[in-house]
Structure 1
Amino acid sequence: MSYSVGQVSAFAGVTVRTLHHYDKAGLLSPSGRSHAGYRLYNEADLVRLQQILFYRELGFSLDQIAAIFKDPQANALEQLRARQRQLSEEIARLQRLAEVAQRAIQVQQTGVALTPQERFEVFGEITFDLSYATEAELKWADSDGQREAMARAAAHTKQDWRHLMNEAAAWRAELLAAFDEQEPGEGERAMDLAEEHRLHISRWFTSCPPDMHQRIADDFTADPRAFALVVPPSQQRPGLAAYLRQAIHANAARHTGGPGGIEEDG
């Protein structure tokens, strides 16, 4: 039995244009023609179309499908296994994104509600970049510290946020003064400021041991969005992120008993 392009398009759920494209690509050429010269598909053609649609549903490109059809025994199993691995990785990534979204919903539901005026009053120029927040959530997804920080942030009241942001602003002023006065990044004043920052994180969000603090500091120089959470762009100076990173690493060495250092606090 033979079927016209229109009939195949209707019951296969693809457009006539798609069928013509498959024909042009050499993937599916109708086996027959009507007396009037119209393309006609037979049962074997429909089986092949079903295979094409199956591979397309799995995300294979037309070139990949063509390679499989050239040598099904050699290519199909290998290609399917590779695609299975890719799909599994994509499923895992989407699952993590779903968890991020769920945590964001929880924060919105349980966190303090602020009007735009109150938000500016509390946070000032500090802004939270959603794209960075999502990436950070994925990066630290398996961290107990990240989960604790999210939970504690959600529990903060407006008064808590005002207190901690005022504390952060006072610390930031001291950091800018030390930098502008050209205090060395590995000097005692800079290291003391780094220690204040570490304790601020522990006090308001999650326990922040020196090694964790170093990883946070590395983000300051690697991603401007991370540093903007600490120092808003209007207050930044060239080299300031690297300066703070140097101070934090020096302070971590001091805590771990490095040269001239002190022992880690318990």
Structure 2
Amino acid sequence: MEYTVKALAKLSGVSCRAIRFYDEKNLLKPKRISPSGYRIYGEEEVKKLQEILFYKDMGFSISQIKKIIENTKTDIIKMLKEHRENLEKEKIRIDELIKNLNATIREKEEGIKMENQERFMGFKKRMIEENEREFGKEIHEKYGDEAVERANQKIMDMTEEDFEKLNNIEKQLFIALGAALSKKNPRGEHAQQAARLHKDWLSIQWGGYDSKKHYYLTQMYLQDERFKNYYDTRVGEGATALLAEAVKIYTGMDEENNLSN
């Protein structure tokens, strides 16, 4: 079967303008041009458009999608399976939020009281899923599957008080780190306050505290752009580096490193 731009747009839900744009970018060329000048697309082009939309939904840019499609060595099956896995996780998260929303509606309409743990279950699961999506590979390689599972279980076991405390600490951390960033002094009051708040935040996540782990974790932040961007995008450029330096001082690792040199 063959399709004009308009017919392909109707089939796929993509605008005619987008299809023409993909042609201009050499991403989706028509099968042929009709004698009257219309772009004509066939079954292979339909499959290719589906791939483009998959990759676009996964967050790839047009230039990245073009490279993927042109590279015959790209493991497309693996990428599609990973995308499916992410969608399944997102479905679980949405189902949990809907369940939470329904329980909230019942409580307000019918007076059926929600358990406090139930109120935060969806948010906890979302926190774990976001961490896995953004940092999963690195933290599993660094700490091992068992340690990550323990940390995730601690999040799920958090009380309402713990969950609220965790979020409040992080908000205070961003404020302190923002104030420290204007001074750029890791030994300063605000920088050391940020280091202490980061310690408090980790202590809830870990169910305990280890100063060396704290130091090495913040050093790892500097080695990966995704970790680095977590604070830089929320507080300002250089925030992650400043936090890492402040933690080094807070944990005494600056003195330990000096003694070993």
- Structure showing the higher helix proportion among its residues: 2
TM-score (norm. length: structure 1): 0.43
Which one scores higher on RCO, CA 8 angstroms, separation ≥ 6? 1
